[in-house]
Amino acid sequence: MARHAGFGAAATITEDAINSVIAAFVADLLPSTLYFQLPQTINAGLIPVSFAGLVRIRPPSVELHANPLNLVKTHFVFQTTFMGGVFGQSLKKRTVELRSTVDVALITRVQGQQIVLGINTQLVQIEPFQVTVLKGPALPTQMVSALQSPTLAAIATALVNSLPQMTITPPMLTSHLSYTQPLHIGSAWWDDWFTVDVSVSRIVTKTLEKALTVAVDFAGFTQGTDSGLVDLTKVKGLGSIYGYTITQPGTDPYSDDTYYSDDDYYSASPYGPGNVTHNLSLSRYSEPAGGDVAGTINLDFLSALVAQQISPQIRYPSALDEPISGGGSVNQSTGTPIRGDVDLTSVSLAYATFETPFGEVQDGLEIAFSVLVKEGPWFDATGRIYAQVYYQDATGSTEFVTGIPFGWRIHIGLVEIDEPAWVDFAVAAATIWLGGAIPIIAPAAIVAGGAALGEVIPSAIANAETATQQSLEDGSSDVSFPGDPAYISFTPEGVDTALLLALASEQPEVKPKPPLLSVDYPSSVYQARDGQAFSARLVRVGDDFEEFADKITLGWRVRRGDNFNHVILYIEKSYTDPTGNGIAWTWHIPDQYYLDKFFVECRILLTVGSQSGEIDRLTGEVPIVDKLDRSHKYVEWGPYVVSFASPDQDTWFRKRKSRIHRTAVGARCKMLRDRDKFKTPRWHADRNIAYRDELPFDWKDLAKHRGPLCEYCFFGGPDRTDPYPEDDAAASM
């Protein structure tokens, strides 16, 4: 049986392609429509289980298998990070996946005269879930029972029922083929030269292994057999595909029949080497299988469509109706006037093989035509056009290749004329197949077909078969095809094609978001010289727990860097505290002044009813960086040599020694605070830096010995009389 099984057209989409379409559908939905809140309590028998968290639906996926009812196995997957606990136990945080598999019937929808398949979400009934722990401790038996309860399944069902009908395929077939072809030749002008109008009478879907096939019958033309439908991505057609590679010319263009140039010398003659489209010797290959979407159009249907709807209108164009006396009108035409006394009277469409000018037997669509020559004795002339589709690419340098358009193009493989060569005529059906074939798979191609006809039909084709072939080639080769076909093939059964969709190689893993999203720290490192207080200004939790903001408490702990078990600060704050839920403290106090780091911890606690538990915990280390060793009270440097060069005398050298400075953070002079040289060990070594813990005199005699002291580090300036406190921590407060 033919791959189309007697239907007018059929198309197959793979399971992977369907799942990518579903993922795109869910991604386009508003995020707020994809969540529901876990009930605070679900009873597992007589035992209440408490929950706090949000459940989010992930993109469903389908699993396709052949079955007599053509049902589609659909996996609905939900994910949640929640706090939960059995009555009498503390709440604990977990991330789980909830999965329910449902067999659903497909629905057929028509969008803009295009057929898409979908799932009616309003009829989906979620079954009790399978539960998988993704993160956190194992679930108690009672909690598993609660998550698998009909109560939770009913809430999930309500969410799915509230979603729009789920699209699972792209537009695959048309529900109504309608197209009007204009014709403009000289002063003759037909806006509706012929019209194609065919409705779909029946749509059939068939579920196969890892694929889904949909087929249509056209009213008055076809009656397909359901059982004959196959997976078109796996069952190969009987046809051929063609290709042509434009090769970059060598140094001798005369010996290269693939020469491609805009030079008039090579392109002026229709038979010259530059005339690439005319000199095509196509490579032939067997029709392949594959594609994400594959389709076929019944050639018997196309032939009948041309015979019943197109050819009669070409013979009797309505624009030639003329009124008669007494009312009414009569059509005086014997065909469509093409040129002078030549009328186009009929066209037909069929599959055929032919011998090319290169002596090769190839196949394609045969568009047969007849014209009436109303001159002299009046006579009929007949002919045939053999149209093919081929894929054009190029080989050569990057510059050459990028200048060649890649893609599927139309080729007029041969033109045969059965009457004297002086007859002038135009062929209306040169690209009829574009207007009647490809649009069944992708209706947008009707536009392309119309564009091609608009180029070919108005051209008066004169005198010779080869000139006719070239003229048609020029008018049709630039027609583009919708999408990016993997192949196009004409066969005795029909027109076969396949598309490759932009699918991800694999679905990205959806990782649960941590509930603690951010803590705002003004700084991650604190310079001791600044004496800056540490602060954490704001904590934010993720969407899973934002709904429970008024039930969240933050527990802040600050621990000593030299003794983790020593907590120096503990504060509890409400998550919604209007003054901010962070903390701040001054570290340069007597018992913390000499520490070089602190440990900070923030526990996020959620309370539901009488139960509470930790959602998340943040821990971090806050270093206190100092370029001086403040474990020693004083610092000085020298002696060291300084020099001064003068143009009037020799270089002058002298040994210098600094005054005594304080390392106390709050008492340091500007030089100690800002001088960059203190950052380098080399400078310390060159200047003979020396720390001391005692002065050479008692502190009470400080005022009597100001000479060797830094006035700013000890007194705050030469104009001050009262020294800073002796204790370094006190001096830094």
438 compared with 180, residue with greater pLDDT: 180
pLDDT tens for each residue of 202-241: 999 999 999 999 999 999 999 999 999 999 999 999 899 9
8 Å CB contact between 587 and 598? yes
Q: Give the pLDDT band of residue 710 (cuts 50, 70, 90).
A: very high
Largest distance between two CA atoms of the chain: 140
What's the CA gap between 240 and 362, in Å, rounded?
A: 9
- Across the range 48-55, mean pLDDT stands at 86
Least confident piece of the model among 5-9, 352-356, 638-642, 671-675: 671-675
CA atoms 601, 607, 613, 615: torsion sign: negative
- Residue 530, pLDDT score: 58
- Residue 313, pLDDT score: 81
Report the half-sphere exposure of 100 (CA within 13 A, side-chain side). 23
Q: The whole model's pTM is what? A: 0.65
pLDDT tens for each residue of 417-429: 564 433 333 232 2
What's the CA gap between 453 and 437, in Å, rounded?
A: 14
- Bridge partner residues of 661 (DSSP): 635
- Across the range 272-283, mean pLDDT stands at 56
Instruction: Reply yes or no on whether the pLDDT at 305 is more than 50.
Output: yes
341 compared with 524, residue with greater pLDDT: 341
- Across the range 491-506, mean pLDDT stands at 73
- Bridge partner residues of 217 (DSSP): 202
Give the SS3 label for residue 551.
helix
Nearest by Cα to 535 from 545, 520, 547: 520
Give the SS3 label for residue 453.
helix
- Residue 324, pLDDT score: 45
8 Å CB contact between 11 and 441? yes
Nearest by Cα to 709 from 665, 666, 657, 673: 657
- Residue 534, pLDDT score: 62
pLDDT tens for each residue of 531-578: 556 666 566 666 556 667 888 888 888 888 888 889 888 989 888 888
CA atoms 660, 666, 671, 672: torsion sign: positive
- Residue 145, pLDDT score: 96
Q: Give the pLDDT band of residue 102 (cuts 50, 70, 90).
A: very high
- Residue 90, pLDDT score: 81
Least confident piece of the model among 78-92, 309-323, 424-438, 658-672: 424-438
Instruction: Reply yes or no on whether the pLDDT at 450 is more than 50.
Output: no
Q: How would you label 174-206 residue by residue, b for 16+ Cβ within 10 Å and e otherwise?
A: bbebebebebebeebebeebbebebebeebbbb
- Residue 679, pLDDT score: 54
- Residue 224, pLDDT score: 95
Residue with tokens 């196995």: 73
Nearest by Cα to 34 from 148, 163, 165, 167: 163
Give the SS3 label for residue 435.
helix
Backbone angles phi, psi at 633, to 5 degrees: -80, -30
- Residue 205, pLDDT score: 93
pLDDT tens for each residue of 594-605: 888 888 888 888
- Across the range 141-161, mean pLDDT stands at 95
- Residue 438, pLDDT score: 29
8 Å CB contact between 624 and 99? no
189-193, 445-449, 462-466, 726-730, range with greatest mean pLDDT: 726-730
Report percent pLDDT > 70 for the chain: 70
Instruction: Reply yes or no on whether the pLDDT at 508 is more than 50.
Output: no
How far is residue 694 from each of residues 443, 528, 660, 662, 703, measured CA to CA in Å? 94, 22, 11, 11, 16
Residue-averaged pLDDT of the chain = 75
- Residue 464, pLDDT score: 31
8 Å CB contact between 134 and 544? no
Q: Give the pLDDT band of residue 56 (cuts 50, 70, 90).
A: confident
- Across the range 620-633, mean pLDDT stands at 83
User: Helix crossing, 445-456 with 465-476: angle to 10°?
Assistant: 140
What's the CA gap between 555 and 356, in Å, rounded?
A: 85
- Across the range 515-524, mean pLDDT stands at 46
- Bridge partner residues of 434 (DSSP): none
- Residue 127, pLDDT score: 93
pLDDT tens for each residue of 630-647: 889 999 888 877 776 666
- Residue 712, pLDDT score: 93
Give the N- to C-terminal CA distance of the chain in Å, as an integer. Answer: 94
- Residue 399, pLDDT score: 84
- Residue 492, pLDDT score: 92
Instruction: Reply yes or no on whether the pLDDT at 303 is more than 70.
Output: yes
- Residue 228, pLDDT score: 95
687 compared with 285, residue with greater pLDDT: 285
Instruction: Reply yes or no on whether the pLDDT at 704 is more than 70.
Output: yes
293 compared with 673, residue with greater pLDDT: 293
- Residue 543, pLDDT score: 58
What's the CA gap between 219 and 495, in Å, rounded?
A: 20
- Residue 641, pLDDT score: 77
3-state SS of 421-433 is CCCCECCCCCCHH
Domain ranges of the chain: 30-163, 248-323+333-499, 516-625, 634-731
- Residue 435, pLDDT score: 30
Q: Give the amino acid at 568.
A: I
CATH of domain 516-625: 2.60.40.1930
Q: How would you label 98-130 residue by residue, b for 16+ Cβ within 10 Å and e otherwise?
A: bebebebebbbeeeeebbbbbbebeebebebbe
- Across the range 277-304, mean pLDDT stands at 84
